[in-house]
A and B are shown apart, each in its own frame.
Chain A
């Protein structure tokens, strides 16, 4: 930390923002006793202040008044809201077959039809699961399982820290357990019931083949996972509660946390 008996610029810079981890106490004590370091700290802070002033003064002259852009934003937001309301109303009043394909691309509709045909073929042979059945995992196969994690582990993790990729061998095992050997795997996401971002384990007891084609599909569950992670890290929902709710009834949890009876 110390260089030639004084704090380095880096120490001072980190100390200013409360980010000096090792030796912070010693650094503060040194600062109290050392006029030279206090003076240097003032110089550094002064340099930042001077730059901030120069930065603002040089750029503020290019700023236009906020009224026009504010009005434009309001108008765009209103248009967006109206468009959503109209879309939802149209979906609710249209026949069920239109609702099925409303707002979806032809490829999704085609995928659904293919999925239906495949499901029909499997049932014709007397076994397997329908896509709708698998929106919720079978409790005996996938009760959900967690790792031993703390709130800091969960909220300190970045996307790269939590490995989500399920090995191919494990994916095959999951498909076998659910008796869907004949189905094309890309119709499903082998998903974690309790997401790793909420401390879910990579055990097979926490994995199930979640269909993309069902109304309550893998994409909808992803939204819930993001929502719950945010709530847990904001301290609004207990981690154990989030794990319990998503593993017992993730659709119910979605309805609860998004205040809706159907997915957005």
Chain B
């Protein structure tokens, strides 16, 4: 269990933070996810694709957390992005990163979730399972998002027109 925690804690935390959940709340959710995993395994339930299982539980708890937070205070805090201390060399990278993140921020939530889960290394089938959508919907979502990311990053798509 501790080995699983070591391996999946940061990916789960990142995913939860991408919902703009505050770090202490995200930590609490991760604890809840692993306690649920413990109960799940103790009851002898399926051990297949535990990574997907963890993300699915985290996703559901994140949605629940956000609904609760919205009821309590409608205004969500903006995420902070620290600027690098070495601006000369890293300025271009940082600008690019901010450009990409700005594009992602403007995406619908489902598309953001698909991208985030992909960034955490989940396969399309696993993403579909976590979000409760079809494989085709995952592909559509990624196609749309990657096209926007590519435009923001100025990578061309000239060959289809050739």
Contacts and interface: CB of A to CB of B under 8 A. Distances in A.
Interface of A: 3-6, 8-10, 13-14, 17, 19, 36-37, 39-40, 43-44, 46-48, 50-64, 66, 69-70, 72-74, 76-77, 80, 223, 226-227, 229-230, 233-234, 257-258, 264
B155 A234 contact: no
B140 A10 contact: yes
Contacts of B44: 223, 226-227, 230, 257-258
Contact of B46 (A8, A17, A229): A229
Nearest to A57: B97
A12 to B, nearest CB: 9
B109 interface: no
B34 A58 contact: no
A10 B150 CA distance: 14
B33 to A, nearest CB: 10
Contact of B124 (A17, A56, A70, A257): A17
Secondary structure call for the A interface: helix
Interface of B: 1-2, 5-6, 9-10, 13-14, 17-18, 23, 27, 30-31, 34-35, 38, 43-48, 79, 81-82, 96-97, 100-101, 104, 115-116, 118-119, 123-125, 135, 139-140, 142-143, 146-147, 149-150, 153, 155-157, 159-162
B79 A58 contact: yes
Nearest to B103: A51
18 contacts: A9-B143, A9-B157, A14-B139, A19-B135, A43-B155, A51-B104, A54-B96, A56-B14, A58-B81, A59-B14, A59-B17, A59-B18, A64-B27, A66-B6, A69-B27, A73-B1, A77-B1, A80-B38
A51 B145 CA distance: 10
B146 A226 contact: no
Contacts of A48: 118-119, 146
A90 B81 CA distance: 53
A47 B153 contact: yes
B46 A39 contact: no
Contact of B157 (A40, A64, A80): A40
Nearest to A66: B9
Nearest to B18: A59
A60 B14 contact: yes
